Amino acid sequence: MHAVFVLPRFYPYRGGYENSMLSIGRCLVSRGHRVTVFTTVADDLESLWVPGRKTFPAEEFLIDGVAVRRFPICYLQWRRRATRFVGLLPNWRLKSQYWTPAFRVPGLNDALRDIDADIFHVGPLPYNNLMYAGLQAAEFRRVPLIATPCVHLGETNNDDVSRYYLQPHQVALLRQCNEVLCMTEVERRQFERVGISPAKLETIGLGINWQEATGGSGTRVLQRYSIDGPVVLHLGMKAYEKGSVTLVEAMKSLWQQGSRAWLMMAGSSLSAFDEYLSAQPQPLPRLVNLPAFDDKEKRDLLAAATVVAQPSRVESLGLVLIEAWANSKPVVAADIEVSRKLVTDSGGGVVTPFGESAALAAAIQKFLDDPEMCREMGRRGQRSALNYDGSILWARNVEIFERINSR
């Protein structure tokens, strides 16, 4: 079987979705299948639309048996504006290709049509133009299509997030897939509500690589940055929707009250977050703001943390929470349904309302004041993390590919 993945970003970009797709690709290769990944040059998220951001070369390479083909992005404004008008037309196929947040990837469609694929895989939303490119190729070659959309549902009774993931044209696109792989039962139920056939839905989820997430040296981090107090850690994309701004505001209030805790933030960031930090009227000497990290740095950061704070409202599962638990660290997450269920079921942390810095500060302070609570919630979380062993879950994803291909 030759499986072809189509996705916006890929290795060496190290996001949770991208890492998982690489792991599934490796698993497919280990079982004797071929894998090709079609992706773009984007590294920074904003480089999908904005020229001058961090990108990779347009190239072809091999990583652990997985072939990767990286395509350039067209940044011509006149072309983008013209295609947006096409996306206004009441046709789900046109909207999937041209409506926001679409971006043009020259050469991708032709290359997908030419490849000898037995099955295509697409995702995540809301990048429906790339998902549609995979759909077109699957229809052209008359082969199956799998989607792992990783929908972000946001807060209960608030569609500020979900409206970008469950638009009619996106739902119509998913209905064309042979199988839609869900992260959680929360996501599965939402797909059923919007009319996707339950027969096409399967909840498997993704997991973590324990070797890549555990075994770090917290001492190494503390010494490197001359840290002399407890550490509140925030891993991954730094952006308002990820709760990054709320977290900084929460820590500012704790520092004003005399807290000696440090805030470590590691990962790429949107320009709006960088501008927010630059506009701070006072220096933040107990903030360590780090760029994207490799696996060794991630292990060390997790080992150094007292508590991991991920107050994000854009999550489909929450792999960072699970990695924190693998290191016996308690977590603070945003009170969205998927995170609330994950944290409540595990007993490994607490949730606070998204965007409310006072509530977040109070939750963090409780952990800083109570080392025994940290240890107990960390132990509970670690037990829960055992349910997210990536080697098991990646293999289950691969079994779906093999089953659909054999029909």
In the chain, CATH 3.40.50.2000 sits at 2-207+390-405, 210-387
- Rounded to an integer, what distance in angstroms lies between the CA atom of residue 155 and that of residue 313? 7
* Residues 280/325, Cβ–Cβ less than 8 Å: no
Q: What is the pLDDT of residues 198-254, one digit of tens each?
A: 999 999 999 999 999 999 999 999 999 999 999 999 999 999 999 999 999 999 999
- Rounded to an integer, what distance in angstroms lies between the CA atom of residue 167 and that of residue 150? 14
Rounded average pLDDT over 337-345: 95
Instruction: Return the pLDDT at 82.
Output: 76
Q: What is the pLDDT of residues 102-154, one digit of tens each?
A: 999 999 999 999 999 999 999 999 999 999 999 999 999 999 999 999 999 99
| Burial annotation 287-316 (CB, 10 A radius, 16+ → b, else e) | bbbeebbeeebbbbbbbbbbbbbbbbbbbb
Instruction: Return the pLDDT at 232.
Output: 98
Instruction: Return the pLDDT at 86.
Output: 82
pLDDT at 283 over 80: yes
Instruction: Return the pLDDT at 84.
Output: 78
Instruction: Return the pLDDT at 175.
Output: 98
Instruction: Return the pLDDT at 252.
Output: 98
CA atoms lying within 13 Å on the CB side of residue 46: 15
Q: What is the pLDDT of residues 252-269, one digit of tens each?
A: 999 999 999 999 999 999
Rounded average pLDDT over 389-397: 96
The CATH superfamily holding the domain 210-387 is Glycogen Phosphorylase B; (3.40.50.2000)
Mean pLDDT of the chain: 96
| Band (332; pLDDT cuts 50, 70, 90) | very high
2-207+390-405 CATH fold: Rossmann fold (3.40.50)
| Band (83; pLDDT cuts 50, 70, 90) | confident
Please return the burial class of 318, using the count of CB atoms within 10 Å of its CB with bins 0-12, 13-18 and 19+.
Answer: buried
Instruction: Return the pLDDT at 85.
Output: 75
Instruction: Return the pLDDT at 15.
Output: 92
Q: pTM score, two decimals?
A: 0.95
Alpha carbon distances (Å) from 353 to 150, 180, 313, 339: 22, 30, 9, 11
In the chain, the percentage of residues whose pLDDT exceeds 90 is 96
Which H or E run contains 160? none
